Amino acid sequence: MQIVKKGDVELITFDNLTQTGMVKHGFTTRHGGVSTGYYGTMNMGFSRGEDRAPVAENYRILARALELDENAFVATQQTHTTNVLKVTAKDKGCGVTKDRTYHDIDGLMTNEKGINLVIFGADCVPVFLLDTKNKAIGLAHCGWKGTADRMAEKILQEMMAAYGTNPKDIVAAIGPSIGKCCFQVDDPVVNLFRAQIAFADDIIFDDPTEEGKYKIDLWETNHRLLAEMGVENIEISGLCTMCDTQRFYSHRKMRENRGVMAGVMTLL
C-alpha cells in the first residue's frame, strides 16, 4: 500500500495491483479537490447534497491525476446489495458525465479496456479484483451488510461465470474502511454475521470498553471470503477511515455532514 501524491491529489494505491502493469487504480482521500465546507475537498459523490459543479470538477481532477479519460467513468447508486453489473463501453460516463442509469448496484466488472469503474465509500470496504490471465477487473462496495451477505464472494463468482476467472489468477486489494478498532456493533449485527459467515467467531470480538457491545473485523472477513474461494494474492491497506478523518470521510464519525471517497480502477 502506498499513499501517493499526483499533483494536489492524494491517493491510496496497492503495490500488488501496481506491479502487474495491467491497471490504473486508486482510492481517493479528502485531499486534492475543490469541494468546500464539510465536503472539503475531494467529495466524489453527486448525491451528498453538494452542488454538482465541484463534484464534476473533482472527477476531472482525478482523471488528470491518473491520466484517465474523464468521460469514461461509470458509477451507480449503491444500496448495500450484492448486485453486480457487467460494464461495457456503452456505459462510459454513466453516473458522472451522463445521467445515472443504474440503481441498486454495488459491484462493477468489465473485461474492456479504458472504462473507469467507480465505487464509493466512507467507512464501507472497497474490494478491488484483477484477473491477470483473462484481463478483467471488478470493484465491490462491501459495507457491513454487504460483507455479511458475502459480496466479495459474489462478485468473484460473477467474474468466474462471465470471464472464466480462476481465483488463483486474481490480484485483490482491500481498501481504506472502518477497522475493527472502531466498528462497534450490538446483537442484531452480530447475529446476522453468525447466521451468514461460517467463521464468524474468528472475526467477532467482545468490546472491553462497553458491556453488550462487540467489534467486527470487516477487513479479515473480506480477506477470508476471498481466500476461501482460492485467492492467494490479497493486499489490505490497514487504514481505518474512522480513525483518520483528516484524511478520510467517515459516516460513523461525521454522519451526514461529509462527502465520500471513490475507488477507481481501469484496465489498460
DSSP codes, 72-138: -EE-----S---EEE--GGGTTBTTTB-----S--EEEE-STT-EEEEEESSSEEEEEEETTTTEEE
**Secondary structure of residue 181 in the 3-state scheme:** coil
User: Of 169, 148, 184, which Cα lies nearest the Cα of 229?
Assistant: 169
Q: What is the pLDDT averaged over residues 172-193?
A: 98
CA 61 to chain centre: 19
> Cell 454495488 maps to which residue?
106
- CATH placement of domain 2-267: 3.60.140.10
pTM of the model: 0.98
What band does 95 get if pLDDT is binned at 50, 70 and 90?
Answer: very high
* Residues 125-159 pLDDT 10s: 999 999 999 999 999 999 999 999 999 999 999 99
